[in-house]
């Protein structure tokens, strides 16, 4: 029951080192989690840009429960925190984690930095999951 559950925030981070790189995602979430009710993916680190928001910096696809549930295929925006006026919203999920705490998938850089004729700046993507624990 959710009233008896605790809400936990779990952060997982991946590194991106080159344009168009595909980074496998293979996270084991804590075994006491019973449901993931929302998540967020954002670029962390400084990327040289003159725009406050790059709406399609990369994309990711996630599968929960040993590839039994595939609820997410989404774009990751880049926010320049000094000029951005908003933060990306949490995506609602409602995915049961009972039986398998594995989270798999991939992140793919869309080459946005190449379009600006700049040297590639490595960056990180932080995934934040809001979950109920037992």
pLDDT digits 0-9 by tens, 54-100:
556 788 888 887 655 555 556 665 555 554 444 556 777 778 877 76
R_g of the chain computed on alpha carbons:
16
- Predicted TM-score (pTM) of the model is 0.78
Q: Which residue has the higher pLDDT, 119 or 40?
A: 40
Residue 89 φ/ψ, nearest 5 degrees: -75, 160
Q: Around Cβ 110, how many Cβ atoms within 10 Å?
A: 16
Q: Which residues contact 17 (CB under 8 A, 6 or more apart)?
A: 120, 122
pLDDT at 18 over 70: yes
In the block, residue with structure tokens 């981070």: 13
Res. 1: pLDDT tops 50: no
Q: What pLDDT is stored for residue 108 in this prediction?
A: 92
What digits encode the pLDDT tens for the residues 38-59? 888 888 776 656 555 555 678 8
Residue-by-residue DSSP string for 29-80: --TTEEEEEEEEEEEES----SSSEEEEEEEEEEEETTTTEEEEEEEEEEE-
Cβ(107)–Cβ(18) below 8 Å: no
- Give the per-residue pLDDT at 85: 45
């Amino acid at each position: 029951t959710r009233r008896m559950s605790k809400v936990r925030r779990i952060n997982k981070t991946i590194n991106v080192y080159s344009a168009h790189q595909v980074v496998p995602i293979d996270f084991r979430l804590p075994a006491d989690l019973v449901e993931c009710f929302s998540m967020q993916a954002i670029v962390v680190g400084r990327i040289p840009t003159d725009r406050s928001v790059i709406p399609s910096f990369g994309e990711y696809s996630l599968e929960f429960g040993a590839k039994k549930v595939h609820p997410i295929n989404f774009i990751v925006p880049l926010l320049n925190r000094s000029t951005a006026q908003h933060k990306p919203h949490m995506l609602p999920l409602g995915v049961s984690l009972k039986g398998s705490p594995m989270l798999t998938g991939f992140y793919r850089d869309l080459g946005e930095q190449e379009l600006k004729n700049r040297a590639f700046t490595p960056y990180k993507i932080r995934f934040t999951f809001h979950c109920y624990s037992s």
